Copies of this chain bind each other. A is one copy, B any other.
Amino acid sequence: MLDGAAIADGVLAKVVEEARALVSLGVTPGLAVVLVGDNPASRAYVAGKGRAAKACGFHSIQHTLPAETSESELLALVEALNAHPAVHGILVQLPLPKAIRSSRILEAIAPIKDVDGFHPINVGLLSIGDTGRAFIPCTPAGAMILIDKACERLGWSLPGAEAVIIGRSNIVGKPIAQLLLQRHCTVTIAHSRTRDLISVARRADVLVAAVGQPQMVRGDWVKPGAIVIDVGVNRVSGEALDASGKPKTRLVGDVAYVEAAGVAGAITPVPGGVGRMTIAMLMANTLLAARRATGL
Contacts and interface: CB of A to CB of B under 8 A. Distances in A.
Contact of A121 (B120, B187, B191, B200): B120
The interface size bin for chain A is 20 to 34
Interface stretch (A124-132, A276-284, A286-294): A124-132
| Oligomeric state, in copies | 2
Contacts of A125: 120, 124
* Chain A binding surface, main DSSP class: mixed
A123 B178 CA distance: 13
Interface string A183-201: 0101111110111000010
Given A127-B127, A174-B127, A190 B200 contact: no
Interface in A262-281: none
A181 interface: yes
A160 interface: yes
A200 B186 CA distance: 9
Contacts of A129: 170
A103 B132 CA distance: 13
Given A124-B122, A127-B124, A190 B194 contact: no
Contacts of A113: none
Interface in A175-221: 177, 181, 184, 186-191, 193-195, 200
10 contacts: A121-B121, A124-B124, A128-B170, A159-B193, A160-B194, A184-B193, A186-B188, A186-B189, A186-B200, A187-B188
